[in-house]
Structure 1
Amino acid sequence: MRLNRKLEHIQFSLQQKSRGGATGFDDITLLHNSLPQLDWGDIDTSCYFLGKKLHVPLLINAMTGGHRELESINGNLAKAAAAAGVALAVGSQRAALEDNSTRYSFSVVREVNPQGVVLANLGADCSLLEARTAIKMINADGIQLHLNAPQELAMAEGDRKFKGILENIQSLSRDLDVPVIVKEVGFGMSRESIQRIGAASVPYIDVGGAGGTDFVAIEEARAGRKTWLKWGIPTAVSLLEGLSMNRAKTQLIASGGIRNALDIVKSLSLGCSLVGMARPLLRVLVEGSSEELNSYLSNIIEDIHRIMLMLGARTLEDLQRVPLIISGNTYHWLCCRGIDVAPYARRAGTSY
Structure 2
Amino acid sequence: MTSETPDSASTGGRSARAERKNDHVRLASAQRGEEPNRSDFDDLEFVHHALDGTSPERVDLSTTVGDWTWATPFYVNGMTGGTDTTAAINRDLAIAAAETGMPMACGSMSVALDDPIAAKGFTVIRDENPNGFVMANLGAGRGPEDARRAVELLGADALQVHLNPVQETAMPEGSRDFSEWAHGLELIVAACPVPVVVKEVGFGLSRRTQTRLADLGVRFADVSGAGGTDFLRIENARSTGTDFSMLTGFGQSALACLLDAAESGPTLLASGGVRHPYDVVKALACGAHAVGVAGTFLQAVLDGGAEGLVEVVNTWKDQTRAVFALLGAETPAELTRTDLLVRGRLGEFCRLRGIDLEALSRRSEYRAD
Which residue does 1:21 correspond to in 2?
38
For residues 164 and 223 of structure 1, the distance between their equivalents in structure 2, rounded to whole angstroms, comes to 26
Pick from 25, 32, 56: which aligns with 1:10?
25
CA distance in 1, matches of 2:98, 2:320: 18
Q: 1:196-211, aligned counterparts within 5 Å?
A: 196-211=212-227
In 2: Cα distance, 1:319 partner to 1:292 partner: 29
Q: For residues 94 and 222 of structure 1, what CA distance do their matches in structure 2 show?
A: 20
Once residues 159 and 203 of structure 2 are traced to their aligned partners in structure 1, the CA distance between those partners, rounded to angstroms, is: 20
Among residues 174, 180, 187, which one is paired with 1:164 in the alignment? 180
Greater CA drift, 273-282 or 167-176: 167-176
| Residue of structure 2 equivalent to 1:133 | 149
Letter aligned with residue 217 of structure 1: R
Q: Secondary structure at the match of 2:255?
A: helix
CA-CA distance at 1:46 after TM superposition? 0.9
**Which 5+ residue runs of structure 1 have no aligned equivalent?**
none
Q: Is the 8 A contact 1:281 1:293 kept in 2?
A: yes
Indicate whether 1:212 and 2:238 are aligned.
no
CA 1:49–1:347 in 2, change beyond 3 Å: closer, same or farther? Answer: closer
Query: 1-side partners of 2:65 and 2:119: how far apart?
Result: 26
1:146 aligned onto 2:165: no
Shift of residue 39, structure 1, vs aligned partner: 2.1
The alignment status of 1:237 with 2:252, answered yes or no, reads no
| Aligned counterparts, 1:19-98, within 5 A | 19-22=36-39, 24-36=40-52, 38-49=54-65, 51-98=67-114
Identify the residue that residue 313 of structure 2 maps to in structure 1. Answer: 297
Residue 138 of structure 1 aligns with an amino acid whose one-letter code is L
Pairwise CA distance, 1:115:
1.2
Question: Which whole-Å CA distance do the structure 1 matches of 2:176 and 2:352 have between them?
Answer: 32
After TM superposition, list the pairs within 5 Å mapping 1:302-313 onto structure 2. Answer: 302-313=318-329
Q: Deviations over 1:26-72 (max 9, x none)?
A: 11101223223522211111124464432212120011101122211
- 1:34 and 1:92 map into 2 onto residues whose CA distance is 45
| Number of equivalenced pairs | 348
Q: Secondary structure at the match of 2:189?
A: helix
Check the 8 A contact 2:256/2:346 in 1, yes or no.
yes
Amino acid of the residue matched to residue 6 of structure 1? K
- After the TM superposition, which of the residue ranges 295-304 and 249-258 deviates more from structure 2? 249-258
Aligned residue among 196, 199, 210 for 1:180: 196
Aligned to 2:297, what secondary structure does the other structure show?
helix
Q: State which drifts further: 322-331 or 260-269.
A: 322-331
Structure 2 contact 301–309 (Cα < 8 Å) conserved: yes
Q: Structure 2: which 5+ residue stretches go unaligned?
A: 1-15
SS in structure 2 opposite 1:213?
A: coil
Match among 255, 272, 275 for residue 291 of structure 2: 275
SS in structure 1 at match of 2:364: coil
In 2, distance between residues paired with 1:34 and 1:58?
A: 26
Which residue identity is paired with 1:235? Answer: A
SS at match of 1:107: helix
Return 7-16 or 222-231, whichever deviates more.
222-231
The CA distance in 2 between the partners of 1:52 and 1:116, in whole Å, is 12
Give 1:229 deviation, angstroms. Answer: 2.9
Identity fraction in percent = 36
**Contact conserved, 1:36 with 1:351, CA < 8 A, in 2?**
no
For 2:251, the aligned partner's letter is: G
Displacement of 1:304 in angstroms is: 0.5
Q: 1:191 to 1:52 in 2, by over 3 A?
A: closer
Instruction: Say if 1:174 and 1:18 are closer, same or farther in 2 by CA, change over 3 A.
Output: farther
Deviation at 1:343, TM superposition (A): 2.2
Query: Could you tell me how far apart the structure 1 residues matched to 2:281 and 2:287 are?
Result: 10
Counterpart of 1:334 in 2: which secondary structure? helix
- Find the residue that maps to 2:23 and give its secondary structure: helix
Match of 1:118 in 2: 134
Measured against aligned partners, the alpha-carbon deviations of 1:99-146 in whole angstroms (never above 9, x if no partner) come to 111101101111111111100101112111111111111100111111
Structure 1 contact 31–311 (Cα < 8 Å) conserved: no
Question: Which residue does the alignment assign to 2:3?
Answer: none
Query: Contact (CA 8 Å) 2:213, 2:266: kept in 1 or not?
Result: no
So what's the TM-score if we normalise by structure 2? 0.90
What SS is found at the alignment partner of 1:143? Answer: strand
Q: In the aligned structure 2, how far is the partner of 1:340 from the partner of 1:34?
A: 25
